Structure 1
Amino acid sequence: MYAHHYPKTDAVSVALMRQQGAIILGKTVTTEFASFNSGPTTNPFDAEHTPGGSSSSSAAEVADFMVPLATGSQTAESIIRPASYCGVVGFKPSLGKISVAGVKSLAPSLDTLGCFGRSVEDVALGVAAMSGDHAMGTIESLHYKPKIAVCKTSDWECASQASIAAIALARFAAEKIAKSLVNDLSLPNSFDTLRETQTRIMVNEISRSLAFEREQYAKKLSPLLSKQLDDGKRITYQQYSKDLQATEIARKTIAELFQNQVDILIAQSAIGEAPLLKDGTGDPIFCRMWTLLGLPCINLNISTGVNGLPIGVQLIAGPGKDHLLLSVARAFALALPDPVLREA
């Protein structure tokens, strides 16, 4: 429905990148309206597997050395998961770090812009330009031993053995960086339901964000997206308001946790390797909560799975601690060389 639509102005993030000398080559394929219905792009490591969703082609083109940087967005797991599947670095900064003005909205209270690159330094440069926080382009060295913990969420049992092994490798690197044992950290029991909270907020907001398309172009929407819109409309505004209140409480709780107990959390980026194309774009189960909480996250390549496809883990910092996250991520990258990155 938007095949021949060309906006007259750039999104704020693109305009800021141009100001810093970025050369914009074009727009990549995404899933349908950044949702779950995939496009024709395949995984650069194996064409029978998905590159992820929804910023699928952004991750794939960076992995295939078509460009050094590509932008992406995350409403559930659309930066971290494709980055893990395609073996690149994916950086989702704090919620609101980059202006979403000019970007087609999906779920306004969750939508977060970020980017993909082949190194921590590259994504730092990209987000520095996109956000206007130019100091982010120069990653500071760690001046103290950060407190790092592995976070085994309530969804831990859903992870593949390869993903669990990647966490073990990340723990090993973390102990070298922190120069101490890295223990597990348990979240409050109230966090166990945040995945469902994020899902309800997202589909409810999608049903309103795409109200025009549903009204005017219903037959052009995929059955998968149409079902999402139906699901969203069935969620009452009272439930939506209750979920927003629960989110605010959880964000305050996690901010206190980072302030008092830990600097960086290690968690799964995805269930495991990229699934086959016929099985969809993958499950966003391991990122829904972190996106809801608005925390900065970065995917790093750690290992490969049984099919030789990349496996990543994500590092997570406290709200607004994007600079610290990049410093720690670079230390991880130096401690554990990328197992899949090919030479251009």
Structure 2
Amino acid sequence: MTRLHTLTAHELATRLQRRELGAEAVLRDCLERIAEREPAVQAFAHLDVDQALAQARALDAGPLRGLLHGLPLGVKDLIDTADLPTAYGSAVYAGHRPAADAAAVALAREAGAVVAGKTVTTEFAYFHPGATRNPHALSRTPMHTPGGSSSGSAGAVADHMLPLALGTQTAASIIRPAAFCGVVGYKPSWGRVPRGGIKSLSESLDTVGGFGRAVADVALLGAVLTGDARLLQPHDGSTPRIGLCRTPEWPQADADTQAAFALAAQRLGPAAQVREAWPAALPDLVSLQKSIMAFEMARSLSHERTQHRARLSARLLALMDEGMAIDGATHAAHQAQAALARQQAQVLFDGVDVLLAPSAIGTAPAGLDATGDPLFCRGWTLLGLPCIHLPFTRGTNGLPVGMQLVGRFGDDARLLAAADWCLSRLLA
């Protein structure tokens, strides 16, 4: 008999909508999986089993609520929840109880989601890691990172503890952990999902998205968070035009990523065309993203920087010092460069619907003291473009490898439809 926790969010949603399954039954199966695996994976910052079961029972006793009715959902610990503590991955906020749900959580609950628990984030969603381990490498010595900063969300979904989880991305915090954990990670176009109630790091870059094990899973979540039902439209059967985009960072891709890129080109066949040209007018997007993020994080976390400096990690302090050394006039010039780059980057999509590009340098690095390099995501995040990671192969060490698809700004529905088409062929 198939255990419910092994089903995708879309499969569960279909059966829950028909009342073939109950929310409590689904949640109990997920909780059993969590009890089995959480001691090893450590994906959760906080669990309240009784509270989650009460939510599920209430859903079973009432009418259908929405697209996420009865689906257990993990919430990254950067995102406020009124009924669960939110510590933002920092000892500074241990035991902190927000007064209200973040907008994204409220929308998910309104659509029927069961908030199962808070998932581990790195310290203020930067580089200092939390406790989560990569579920694909638990028997290895040393263990491997799940990526960050949405570590627990990616790990919980990858290990079949939950069908869906919320994450955020300021540099690579959805796409990179999705790549390392072998799940689908979706970062919507910047600004499509409200950020109220989420610890602000970088106003220009912070984006809310999530994780599932199929494209249809994140489409469900995305439709709820954006209010855009077009994200649910199945692919119409036409062949999308895919540009193979190595990006200027390609020389730093390792052999596993290069092999996965070549495999993707082979499996996608005539639909894929190489895009060797990179607009000469574009600035160094990686460097620009780093500078903007440093400036904005140093100032967004001013209270923590000035009042709790001794309780912050050396990595975060270094970023803050770097950011405070950038003056406002320089930041304004950087913002102007970024705005111009968003216009200039549109030429990348001439003749194609989406771009296929690396998600990470390679597989998840060994060790738990770092979360991997965000190199291949920084530029797309700066441009505000929608991205989705597609897992489809393994590296020479047996750990997951995949690629991300990137869409035009605001064209999330086309991106998700193309991603569904692509993933079915990449997994063939």
Structure 1 length-normalised TM:
0.94
Aligned to 2:255: 161
Q: Are the counterparts in 1 of residues 242 and 273 from structure 2 also a CA contact under 8 Å?
A: yes
- Cα distance, 1:279–1:157 mapped onto 2, change above 3 Å: farther
Match of 2:308 among 186, 193, 217: 217
Give the residue type in structure 1 aligned to 2:391.
Answer: N
Gaps of 5+ in 1: 339-344
Q: Are the counterparts in 1 of residues 283 and 341 from structure 2 also a CA contact under 8 Å?
A: no
Consecutive aligned runs of 4 or more in structure 1 exceeding 4 Å deviation: none
Deviations 1:193-235 (A, max 9, x none): 1110000000100000100011111111011111110010011
Give the residue type in structure 2 aligned to 1:158.
Answer: Q
Give the residue type in structure 2 aligned to 1:332.
Answer: C
- Structure 1 distance, partners of 2:133, 2:283, is 33
Match of 2:291 among 196, 200, 203: 200
Aligned to 1:94: 189
- Structure 1 distance, partners of 2:194, 2:357, is 27
Aligned to 1:80: 175
Q: Are the counterparts in 1 of residues 281 and 344 from structure 2 also a CA contact under 8 Å?
A: no
Give the residue type in structure 2 aligned to 1:17.
Answer: A
**What is the SS of the residue equivalent to 1:10?**
coil
Aligned to 1:230: 321
- Structure 2 distance, partners of 1:31, 1:190, is 35
Deviations 1:68-105 (A, max 9, x none): 00000000000000000000000001001111111001
Q: Are the counterparts in 1 of residues 279 and 345 from structure 2 also a CA contact under 8 Å?
A: no
Aligned to 1:122: 217
Give the residue type in structure 1 aligned to 2:145.
Answer: T
Is 1:142 the counterpart of 2:236? The answer is yes
Q: Are the counterparts in 1 of residues 135 and 159 from structure 2 also a CA contact under 8 Å?
A: yes
- Cα distance, 1:270–1:149 mapped onto 2, change above 3 Å: same
CA apart distance, 1:57: 0.7
**What is the SS of the residue equivalent to 1:182?**
strand
Aligned to 2:381: 291
Q: Are the counterparts in 2 of residues 204 and 233 from structure 1 also a CA contact under 8 Å?
A: yes
CA apart distance, 1:55: 0.4
Aligned to 2:13: none
Aligned to 1:306: 396
Match of 1:170 among 264, 269, 272: 264
Give the residue type in structure 2 aligned to 1:226.
Answer: L
Match of 2:372 among 282, 286, 304: 282
Q: Are the counterparts in 1 of residues 268 and 426 from structure 2 also a CA contact under 8 Å?
A: no
Is 1:186 the counterpart of 2:186? The answer is no
- Structure 2 distance, partners of 1:23, 1:121, is 19
Deviations 1:291-320 (A, max 9, x none): 000000000012111211000100011111
Aligned to 1:37: 128
Q: 10-19 or 271-280, which moves further after superposition?
A: 271-280
Aligned to 2:360: 270
- Structure 1 distance, partners of 2:230, 2:282, is 33
- Cα distance, 1:152–1:312 mapped onto 2, change above 3 Å: same
CA apart distance, 1:279: 5.5
**What is the SS of the residue equivalent to 1:153?**
coil
- Structure 1 distance, partners of 2:105, 2:228, is 14
Q: Are the counterparts in 2 of residues 174 and 182 from structure 1 also a CA contact under 8 Å?
A: no
**What is the SS of the residue equivalent to 1:113?**
strand
Q: 278-287 or 54-63, which moves further after superposition?
A: 278-287
- Structure 2 distance, partners of 1:146, 1:92, is 20
Deviations 1:31-56 (A, max 9, x none): 00000000111100113000001001
- Structure 1 distance, partners of 2:347, 2:279, is 12
Match of 1:319 among 400, 409, 413: 409
Q: Give the superposed CA RMSD.
A: 1.4
- Structure 1 distance, partners of 2:116, 2:364, is 27
Gaps of 5+ in 2: 1-91
Give the residue type in structure 1 aligned to 2:147.
Answer: G
Is 1:26 the counterpart of 2:120? The answer is no
Match of 1:15 among 99, 102, 106: 106
CA apart distance, 1:276: 1.3
- Structure 2 distance, partners of 1:108, 1:51, is 26
CA apart distance, 1:156: 0.4
Identity of aligned residues (%): 47
- Structure 1 distance, partners of 2:228, 2:351, is 27
- Structure 2 distance, partners of 1:9, 1:246, is 37
- Cα distance, 1:7–1:278 mapped onto 2, change above 3 Å: closer
- Structure 2 distance, partners of 1:280, 1:142, is 42
Q: Are the counterparts in 2 of residues 85 and 309 from structure 1 also a CA contact under 8 Å?
A: yes
- Structure 1 distance, partners of 2:391, 2:353, is 21
